[in-house]
Structures are given as structure tokens and as C-alpha cells.
Structure 1
Amino acid sequence: MYDSLGLDLKGLSEQAFLDAMEGFDELKKEGLLKNDSIITVIDFDQPSINKRMYVLDIKHYQVLFNTWAAHGRNSGSLMATSFSNAMSSNKSSLGFYLTDEPYYGGNGYSLKLKGLESGVNDKAMVRAIVLHGADYVSQSSINELGYLGRSFGCPAVPRALSRPIIDVIKEGSVLFIYNSTYHPAARYAAG
């Protein structure tokens, strides 16, 4: 699938894809997925100026979206290099998430994310780590800053794409935030 979708040409590392699919398969076996057609991979090994978010339809072998995704302001500027699960850290959390329900909040139409990895991202709900649109996720921010604008830890996407992405991935699909420095012992702890 990696080769047939041309994901290498779109910048997604093969290791990120393989890790994502391994976790997806495990979560599917555990019966946690309501939507087992879609997987979202955010590759934080790439700089923020790259379109490093991939929404994949794995049943129909399609790349549905390939766009920018912001990382937390305290995770780094151009590159995300520091991650945390702590309250008020303003850092991104890595690992596997299950998408929850959409809602309207301070950033408009947004999507709740349930972190599945104990000590890694399981505080996502209490930290209000959600997928949302933001004006700072844009070419104009890159032009002005030299990197994408940053969030308080949320994987923010371009405002114009937030609703279409949320409507595709909401309510029970896998979202995986990858970085090559992250090798959890209990990667798929669903707790």
C-alpha cells in the first residue's frame, strides 16, 4: 500500500507508515475501531513547512488528504523535538489516538481525540487536545515565520480543511502521531 499510494513521494517515511499500520491492526484486533477504513498519520519527523498529515482510506487505497499539521508551541519551531502528556505543557503528544465526536468550541468545528497510550497521550481529553482548524496553519504563516504557526499541543490543520477532514475521520478511526525518537514499550495500551 505504501508504494501504490506513492507515500514516499509525498514525504511519509516508510517507518512511520509501518508503525501506523502495526498499531492500526492491533487496535482493530482489540475491537476498538468503529471506522476501520480510515487511518490518519502525522509524521513529526518532517518539518512543519511540509504537508506531513496523511488521511488514508486503506480499504479503497486512496490518499484523501495530505496537508499541514501544527505541533505544540513548546515542542519546537520548525521541527517538533520535545513532547509531553502534561497539563499546560503546550507540547504535542505522540502515539495512537482514537477519534471521538466533533463539537463546536473556541476554534470552531473541532474533533475530540482520545489518547490510547498510558503516560504518553492518555491525558489528551483532560488537556483538551483536539483536531481543529487554525489560520496559523497556512502558507502565509510559513512565509512570515519560516515555519508553521504552532498550537497549545493540538494537531491543528488549515481552517478550510478542518470540517472535511473531521467529517471523514470522526467517531472511531485511528490517528497516529509519529516521531522516530518514540519507541514505547507498550505501544498499544488501550487504557
Structure 2
Amino acid sequence: MSMFEPLRGAFRLSAASIGLFFLSAWHAAYAQPLPSAAELQQLAPNASLSTLALALTAYACASHSDADKLLTVIDYSKASRDKRLWVFDLRARKLLFEEWVAHGKNSGADVPTTFSNAPNSYQSSIGLYETGQTYSGKHGRSLRLQGLEPGFNDNSMSRAIVMHAAAYADPKVVPGLGRLGRSQGCPAVRPAIAGKLIETLQRGSYVFAYYPQQNWLKTSRFLNAQSCPLVNQSIASK
């Protein structure tokens, strides 16, 4: 072996490291920074600042493409009779939708309190989802949701947890029921908006379904500092 071989190897390693450095620097320079939770709350004043901060943290941990710039936030700590679903275009810094959304019949009445990942539980599931393909079913055009959190929502596909239209998710039913109607676990929305909403989200986006369940908040891989260093950057403080 030539005495210069170790040097050549070191140079190759150094060159690779330099290339990686410049690639990372390029991404940092040209990737558009995320808006802060405070900026999103200016667009959606009825949304919780802390919930938006968690949603942004989960999004930042999950997203690997600068093209995925749609974020849907569902706040299940709010009553079903109130608007509790927001869709943000993070690139354009715009609020695209602010809507009512139903929860599972076994999760609670007006404000859900229990959540499940189990089949046939008829409960909603919390955590981060990625939107999938659309299909036509008994509720019309529906959007599949792929749960990304083991133990919390990763059975979403086998449970057929989808976003779909439902008459019971229309606020017109609130005067008679005191709340929205309930689903079998799906985040159902009113028919008048379902088509446009699904068409928007099918292009690729994330859905963050929130409830202050302590076990999930402590162990979610998208909210935990050990699995996601971005948590330590405290998006909420921006």
C-alpha cells in the first residue's frame, strides 16, 4: 500500500463531508422557513397557540419535502359545535379552511374525552396522519388517512378512518342535538365543503389531531426530544 493511500482516503472522506455540508447549507438557504405558531394564530384566532405549536413541531419532524406545505389541525379538546379544524398553507402563510368536524360516537358527546386505536372502538384517534388516496364509497368521495403514530393511530387504514362528508357534521343539527352528530371514528365534515376540502388535501399533506392526553404527549415520536431534536428548538417561542 502506498503511503499516500490513507491520505487519499481521508481526502475522499473530507470531500464527501464538504459536499454534505454544502448540500445542507443549500437546503437551509433555499428551504422556506416555517411560520411560527403565533403567525398561524393570527390567521386563526380561535385556534390554541399551544396546539398550533405542537402541530408545527410534529410537522417539522415528519416532513422531508419542501413541497409538503399543507397542515391540517384538528383540536378535539374543543366542542363539536365549534369550528375546530383548520387547514393552513404554510408556504403561502394562508388559512384555507376553518371548519366543523365530527368525532367518534364512543369518544364522547359534545367534547370528546376518550380516544382509541382499536378496531370497532368507534372512537377517534389522536396524533399525526399523512393524507393518502381518495376513493368513492358510501359517503361519496373520501380521503384515506395514514396514521403515523404506533399505538395511537397506526390502525387507521384497517379501521377505515377517512375524511368524508356527512350530514350529521353540519352545524344545522346543533340546535336540535346541542352538538354535531358523531361518526364511527372518522373526522367527518359537512357535505357543502367536503369535496373542496378533500381535493385540497389529497395533493399531499399532514393532519394533526390533538387532545391533551398525557401519555401521547410524552411518548409521541413527533413531539419527543429524544426522537425529534427539533422539539428542543421550541417552535412555540418564535
Superposition TM-score, scaled by structure 1 size: 0.91
Q: Secondary structure at the residue paired with 1:73?
A: coil
How far is the alpha carbon of 1:2 from its aligned partner?
A: 3.6
The CA RMSD measured in Å over matched residues stands at 1.6
- State which structure, 1 or 2, has the greater radius of gyration over its C-alpha atoms: 2
| Equivalent residues in 2 for 1:99-114, closer than 5 Å | 99-114=131-146
Across the two proteins, how many residue pairs are aligned to each other? 185
- The CA distance in 1 between the partners of 2:108 and 2:135, in whole Å, is 28
Letter in 2 for 1:108: G
How far is the alpha carbon of 1:172 from its aligned partner?
A: 2.8
| Equivalent residues in 2 for 1:146-161, closer than 5 Å | 146-161=178-193
Tell me the residue number matched to 1:125.
157
Q: Which has the higher contact order (CA 8 A, sep 6+)?
A: 1
- The CA distance in 2 between the partners of 1:18 and 1:4, in whole Å, is 10
Q: Is residue 84 from structure 1 mapped to residue 116 from structure 2 by the alignment?
A: yes
- The CA distance in 2 between the partners of 1:137 and 1:88, in whole Å, is 20
Q: Secondary structure at the residue paired with 1:100?
A: strand
Higher share in strand: 1
Tell me the residue number matched to 1:18.
53
> 5+ residue gaps in structure 2?
1-35, 228-238
- State which of 75, 84, 101 in structure 2 corresponds to 1:43: 75
CA displacement 1:116-139 (0-9 Å, x = unmatched): 000100000000000001001112
Whether the 8 Å contact between 1:101 and 1:171 is mirrored in structure 2 is no
How far is the alpha carbon of 1:34 from its aligned partner?
A: 8.4
Structure 1's consecutive aligned runs of 4 or more residues displaced over 4 angstroms after TM superposition are none
Percent identical pairs in the alignment equals: 39
- The CA distance in 2 between the partners of 1:184 and 1:118, in whole Å, is 14
Tell me the residue number matched to 2:217.
183
> 5+ residue gaps in structure 1?
none
Distance 1:102 1:34, change over 3 A: farther
Whether the 8 Å contact between 2:70 and 2:204 is mirrored in structure 1 is no
